[in-house]
Amino acid sequence: MYEASGAVRACKRDLQAKEGTIESQVLALKKQIAATNHVLVKEYIDDGSSESRFDRPALDQMRSDLKTNLFDVIYFLHADRIAREVVIQTIIIEEMLKHRKQLIINGKDYEKNPENNFSLQVLRAVAELERAKIIERTTRGRHLRLSQGQLMGAGTAATPMCPPQRTRCRPALRRGPTC
C-alpha cells in the first residue's frame, strides 16, 4: 500500500470563503486517493498564496518532505494547482521525479515521456496565459474605477472621492463627483 499526499493551491482568500474552493479540491483529491487504495498521510494546502511564487508555506513543506520517505505518491487536482508559471511548475515536477515520487495529476499517473511532457507544457502555458489575462482584466477594471473618481479599498466596494468635510473644492480643480 502506498503512502500518499494531496496538494492544494487555492485562489484568493475572499473567493475561497465564498465558493468553498479549498474544501471542494480537498474532497476531490481524497476521492482520488481512496479510489486507488492509497493512504493519505499529509495534506499541503496553500490557501491564498500566490502561485507565481516559490516561497509558499505548504509548497516549501512539501519540497522538504520530498526528501524523506513520508509519502510515495503526490496528488494534484490539476497541473495549474502546482504552479501557473511554466518555469516554477517545471522545477517542482522535476524535483518530485528526482526524489522518485509518483505524480498523479487529475487522476492520471504522470510518467516522464515526451507525450506527457508536451501535454504538461501546453497546460502550463495555458495556465500562465490565464493568470496574465486575469491580472490584465483586474488592472483595467481598477484603472476605470479610479478614472471615474472611485477609491479602491481592501475588499470593499469602490467609494466616491471627496475631500474631507472642512475643505472646499475649487471648480477648476474638481475631478470626480461634486462635493
- The per-residue pLDDT for range 71-128, each reduced to its tens digit, is 888 888 887 788 777 788 888 888 988 999 888 888 888 877 788 778 878 887 888 8
The helices-and-strands tally (H runs, E runs) of the chain is: 5, 7
Pairing relation of β-strands 102-105 and 108-110?
Answer: antiparallel
Q: Are 6 and 24 in contact (CB under 8 A)?
A: no
- Give the CATH superfamily of 3-134: Resolvase, N-terminal catalytic domain (3.40.50.1390)
Question: Where are the domains positioned within the chain?
Answer: 3-134
Only one residue has cell 502550463, namely 124
Q: Are 97 and 89 in contact (CB under 8 A)?
A: no
- The per-residue pLDDT for range 29-68, each reduced to its tens digit, is 889 888 888 888 888 887 665 555 566 788 888 889 989 8
